[in-house]
Amino acid sequence: MQIANNKVVSFDYTLTNDAGDTIDSSQGGEPLVYLHGAQNIIPGLESALEGKVAGDALQVAIEPADGYGEYNAELTQVVPGSMFQGVDKIEVGMQFQAETAEGIQVVRIAKVDGDDVTIDGNHPLAGERLNFDVSIKEVRDASEDELEHGHVHGEGCSH
């Protein structure tokens, strides 16, 4: 069975950056399982998997526009540390939810300089080319519930 819209796909992967550093991997764990066509994974990877079958393996480089987007400097801002009331120690890498004109957005602490805190609303992988090494494990038809909810139902799913 080929990967197409409304198919449930399970695959193993290793994600590296252009320097060859591993960013994420399913090795030693469970394969990633998603509903194809439901925007459950980045568009470039979903497009690269279209038409593949169980047993296929591929290596694909995804440009930022088809991954987590280009880095947008306008999504960074320096704010006073006093905005983080109740947080004992503000550290680089911490994530918070912020109310923006577009609604709730996750921001990451990018820099702390005294009372000045630089927040960044970009995804941590924005602007990065993403290199995937993928091995397709299984392709099956999605259930009616999975199609209705727009994601795969696995063990412990509350639907």
Whether 116 is covered by a domain: the verdict is: yes
Residues 6+ apart with CB under 8 A from 122: 68, 69, 71, 72, 75, 76
Domain span at residue 56 reads 7-68+125-149
- Is the full-model pTM beyond 0.85? no
Residues 62 and 130 in one domain: yes
Distance CA 84, CA 106 (A): 14
Whether 158 is covered by a domain: the verdict is: no
Whether 47 is covered by a domain: the verdict is: yes
Q: Report the CATH number that the domain containing residue 29 is assigned in CATH.
A: 3.10.50.40
Residues 6+ apart with CB under 8 A from 20: none
Per-residue confidence (pLDDT) for residue 157, from 0 to 100? 54
* pLDDT of 118 over the 60 cut: yes
Looking at the 3D structure of the chain, how many domains does it have? 2
Whether 154 is covered by a domain: the verdict is: no
Residues 60 and 135 in one domain: yes
Instruction: List pLDDT tens digits, range 30-53.
Output: 999 999 999 999 999 999 999 999
Q: Amino acid letter at 71?
A: Y
